[in-house]
Amino acid sequence: MRYVKRLLSAALCVVLCGTTACRKPAVPPPTEVIVTSARDVPSDPSDAAWQKAPEYTAALVMQDLVEPRQLTATTASVRVRAIGNGTETAFRLEWDDATRDDLPGAARFCDACAVQLPQKVQANVPAPQMGEAGRTVEIAYWNASRQAVVDGRGQSIKDLYPNASVDHYPFEAKPLEKSPTSQAAMTERYAPARAVGNPVANPTSAPVQDLIAEGPGTLSPAPSATSRGKGMRTANGWAVVIVRTTPIASAPLGRTNIALAVWDGAHEEVGARKMRTGWIPAVLPRQPK
């Protein structure tokens, strides 16, 4: 009987060894965004450095608190990695999206994503829904159309509508060619948003916009634009890197929070019609390596 017990114990030990004890323990998925320290922050989504950064999967929920509300669940989650060097922090967002939507039109909307952080260190974070009055949030917003322009898409109507036929633009009249100043002034008169300096309207050299907000409907350009980034299509969707200055809200060894949002152009998502997260804890590195 004792022999039998020993045999069973040995067998149990073998089984356990085969299932758990003898395997390398699996790394549990991170429960917060951990910013990996590096000397240089990668600005390309395909950079191999991203493999060293742990991936946090953030579930997205519908923005259904303020009108116009998102009442259909679309993009389920976004996978985020982060690398920082003390001065700059790069976030790599990756999500599934079956279609590339980067051509604007009357009813054509563009894919986009954004990273939001609180502007100041405060005991309580501002509302994740674009902040609150007096409690500003900083938002770095990437847009697929702006990326397409940076990647070389032209600035004519034919670049948006290849079959468009235009008879004449008055500011391209032959006599005006002798007076570039007059020609530029006339061109600007027919593009009022550019004439008044709306950052949305001007031809862009960067796919990322720096914005601030103090609640829904208050989004406005940040005092300075420093963020950069790059987005590219993956086999299943988009991978986008947004590089921004390391937030003031996070001292060395500090912690902050980030919130993420994703817009799917194919589902006419724009503005408040989006999939979003709440605040996600983020841990910044002790010192740059």
Partner 1 sequence: MARTYNWQIKREMSYWYPEKRPQRQFAAVFDINKCIACQTCTLACKTTWTSGKGQEYMLWNNVESKPYGFYPLAWDLKLLKAMGAQQWDGDVYAGRTIFEAAPAGSRVLGWRPEDHDYAYPNVGEDDCAGTIEKGASLQVPHLTWFFYLARICNHCTYPACLASCPRGSIYKRPEDGIVLIDQERCRGYRECVKGCPYKKTFFNPMTGTSEKCIACYPKFEKGLVQQCFANCIGKIRLSGYISQPDKASADNPIDYLVHVRKLALPLFPQFGLEPNVYYIPPIHAPASFLQQMFGPKAQEAIQTYRKAAEDPDLAGLLGLFGSTERVVPRWSRQNDWVIGSDESGDEIVRVPLKEPVYIREAFDAKRQIARVNCP
Residues that bind partner 1 (CB under 8 A): 64, 66-71, 104-109, 145, 155-157, 160-161, 164, 166, 169-171, 187, 189-198, 200-201, 216-220, 268, 270-272
The H or E element that residue 194 is part of is: helix 192-195
Instruction: Output 87 or 155, the one with its CB closest to partner 1.
Output: 155
Cα gap 250→110, rounded to integer Å:
32
By beta-carbon proximity to partner 1, the closer residue of 104 and 281 is 104
User: What's the one-letter identity of residue 38?
Assistant: A
For residue 248, the minimal CB distance to partner 1 (Å) is 26
CB of 168 to partner 1, least distance (A): 8
Give the 3-state secondary structure of residue 66: coil
* Least distance CB 216 / partner 1 (angstroms): 7
From the list 206, 241, 187, the residue with the least C-alpha distance to 49 is: 241
Q: Which is nearer to partner 1, 171 or 279 (CB)?
A: 171
Contacts 24+ apart (CB under 8 A), 265-269: 265/99, 265/101, 265/102, 265/108, 265/109, 265/110, 265/111, 265/112, 265/144, 266/97, 266/98, 266/99, 266/101, 266/109, 266/111, 267/72, 267/74, 268/107, 268/109, 269/70, 269/74, 269/109
What is the nearest approach in angstroms of partner 1 to the Cβ of residue 52? 36
Positive or negative CA dihedral for 109, 110, 111, 112?
negative
* C-beta closer to partner 1: residue 59 or 201: 201
Shortest distance, position 241 Cβ to partner 1, whole Å: 23
Rank residues 7 and 66 by Cβ distance to partner 1 and give the closer one: 66
C-alpha dihedral sign at 124, 130, 131, 137: positive
Q: How far is the CB of 217 from partner 1 (least distance, A)?
A: 5
Q: Are 49 and 73 in contact (CB under 8 A)?
A: no
Nearer to partner 1 among residue 64 and residue 132 (C-beta): 64
Closer to partner 1 at the Cβ: 53 or 114? Answer: 114
Please report how close the Cβ of residue 60 comes to partner 1 at its closest, in angstroms: 17
**What are 287's two structure tokens?**
């010192």
